[in-house]
Amino acid sequence: MKGLFKSKPRTPPDIVRQTRDLLVYADRSVSTPDLRESKSQEKLAELSKSLRESKLILYGNSEAEPVAEACAQLTLEFFKGETLRGLITSLPYLSLEGRKDATQVNSRLVASDYLESNIDLMDVLVDGFETHRSGVTLYGTMFRECIRHQIVAKYVLDSQHVKKFFLLRTASQFRHCC
């Protein structure tokens, strides 16, 4: 009888689709002040829950190891849409726990092919160092994971960002992020 009312676990594609939908909503809630605050907070809480579920699929927990097939499904679905881009651009509006989960999800999901076709995401991350000082450590975590890919490292070294790093080096926010 106990199992009758237990909810069915969501599949990785379902989790990513919900995350993608909530990221779009989060962006809209920031730009439209007429939305009810309680509804906005509810959606952001759902987003945090989806990110936590994604992290659990990728890393497992103390009771279960990650399942390779579920990790692959989650990754494929994540790259089908603009989920990674939405996650990066919505980072300043997530709760602290949501931000932490997002950076851990990204660090496992970032792929060279995706970054090569979306290299402008590096510009967003670098701008995050200056613009969103409260999340500089989180932007730095994502940046470090991305720069491990040769195509990304070349892009950053050939861009104007290198000059910014020397300027930011004297500022305290850069020392904390990288």
Q: What is the pLDDT of residues 17-51, one digit of tens each?
A: 999 999 877 765 555 555 567 777 888 889 999 99
Q: Which of 81, 153, 79 is nearest to 119 (CA)?
A: 153
| Stated length of the chain | 178
End-to-end CA distance of the chain: give it in Å, rounded.
52
Q: Which of 93, 106, 100 is nearest to 145 (CA)?
A: 106
Question: What pTM value is reported for the model?
Answer: 0.73
pLDDT reported for residue 99: 82
Distances, alpha carbon 176 to alpha carbons 90, 124, 134, 169, 173, in Å: 21, 18, 11, 10, 5
Using CA atoms, how far apart are residues 34 and 22, in angstroms rounded to an integer?
18
pLDDT at 175 over 70: no
Whether the CB-CB separation of 118 and 84 falls below 8 Å is answered with yes
Whether the CB-CB separation of 104 and 51 falls below 8 Å is answered with no
Q: What is the pLDDT of residues 106-140, one digit of tens each?
A: 655 556 778 888 899 899 888 887 787 777 788 88
- Using a 10 angstrom Cβ sphere, with 0-12 exposed, 13-18 middle and 19 or more buried, the burial of residue 133 is middle
The structural domains of the chain, with segments of one domain joined by +, span: 9-95, 110-178
Token digits of residue 35: 């939305």
Q: Which of 23-32, 140-149, 151-160 has the lowest mean pLDDT?
A: 23-32
Amino acid in the structure at residue 132: H
